[in-house]
Structure 1
Amino acid sequence: MPDPQLDAIDRKILRVLQTDGKISVAELAQKVGLSPSPCSRRIGLLEKAGIIKGYAAIVDQKKVGLPISAFASIKLERQREEDLDRFEEIVARWPEVLDCYLMTGQRDYLMRIVAADLEAYERFIKDKLTRLENIASIETSFALGQVKRSEVLPLS
């Protein structure tokens, strides 16, 4: 299904939902200038079109015992389509990997991995990442602190 054209009301709905996914339809409707029924219909259309992909709680990783954020740059030996697909299929199953991007430049992938401590990260590297075929190199940087994190897209 092609993405529908987003009008000003759709963008308002998305802006509000990005900052408060638990808002009631009645409150949302009031904020965007609609009655609840058409607002609910629009939300349904945005979900059906895949523009709204889901709803989630934002959890503080430190408070749940995962204070380490590691950024691993991965270089593959070969970049054939089947090699990229295989790598991506395996990495998608690993819960420690929160983000993984196919990149341009010197490295093929950049991943954000969370861990309880350095030993847990080392186990992840030894037990999972280095056991994959086609890995040429892994370079890791550790985050010292988080300056900004956001899932809110800058919708005009």
Structure 2
Amino acid sequence: MAERPERPGPDGRAGAGPDKGSPTPADPPRDPAALPPPRPLDAIDQDILRMLQADGRASIRSVAERVHVSRANAYARINRLVEDGVIRGFSARVDHERAGQGTSAYITLKIVQNTWRAVREQLRELPGASHIALVGGDFDVLLLVHTPDNRALRELVLTRIQAIPEVLSTRTLLVFEEQDLEPRG
């Protein structure tokens, strides 16, 4: 699911959309070639990023106060970070177990050479797929999934993933416990 980077809204919240703080519809993913070249972030930009990673709902006023700039400056900086593609969107951190997705697993895949893009698109459509990475090493792809239980995980791996013609093999690593790391500030 593609998320559109949202600009600060009129209510001053960094992740608010145009009408009374509600989210805006998702746009298709941006073409990386259309983005400006990466540039170094200064200390204020880095502080803003840490704040928004910890609380994507922080108001422009609170961001400005915490990083010691004017609200107009904070607003402009957040907009630039969005336009430059540094901020890809605003989202909620979910406790998957409490959301009924109590089984998590990393699945490694070996795939046919030069089929990454096709495989990636098929993996994106899988229920519970949370993170996909093309990696180097003993396998080609690392996939993080969240499912309601082991039976659903088994079904996902054996009937959905292994049915993808470009997938040569899989290995499933069951997650016993996980912890999202909070930004350090």
Show structure 1 runs of 5+ residues with no match: none
What corresponds to 2:67 in structure 1?
32
What corresponds to 1:5 in structure 2?
40
- Aligned-partner SS, 2:110: strand
4+ runs deviating over 2 angstroms: none
Question: Which residue identity does 1:142 align to in structure 2?
Answer: L
Per residue, is there more helix in 1 or in 2?
1
C-alpha displacement at 1:127, in angstroms? 2.9
Which string of whole-angstrom CA distances, capped at 9 and with x for unpartnered residues, describes residues 84-139 of structure 1?
A: 22111111222311111112111111111111011111111233111100222111
Question: Which residue identity does 1:130 align to in structure 2?
Answer: Q
Matches of 1:90 and 1:151, distance apart in 2: 30
C-alpha displacement at 1:25, in angstroms? 0.5
Residue number among 54, 65, 71 corresponding to 2:89 in the alignment: 54
Question: In the alignment, does 2:151 pair up with 1:119?
Answer: yes
What corresponds to 2:79 in structure 1?
44
Question: Which residue identity does 1:8 align to in structure 2?
Answer: A
Residue number among 141, 165, 172 corresponding to 1:109 in the alignment: 141
Matches of 1:138 and 1:151, distance apart in 2: 30
Count of aligned positions: 150
Q: Is the 8 A contact 1:4 1:49 kept in 2?
A: no
C-alpha displacement at 1:151, in angstroms? 6.2
Residue number among 73, 97, 120 corresponding to 2:129 in the alignment: 97
Question: In the alignment, does 2:151 pair up with 1:135?
Answer: no
Question: In the alignment, does 2:100 pair up with 1:65?
Answer: yes
Matches of 1:127 and 1:151, distance apart in 2: 35
Matches of 1:59 and 1:10, distance apart in 2: 26
Counting aligned pairs with the same residue, the percent is 28
C-alpha displacement at 1:17, in angstroms? 1.1
Matches of 2:70 and 2:167, distance apart in 1: 54
RMSD of aligned C-alpha atoms? 1.6
What corresponds to 2:4 in structure 1?
none
Show structure 2 runs of 5+ residues with no match: 1-35
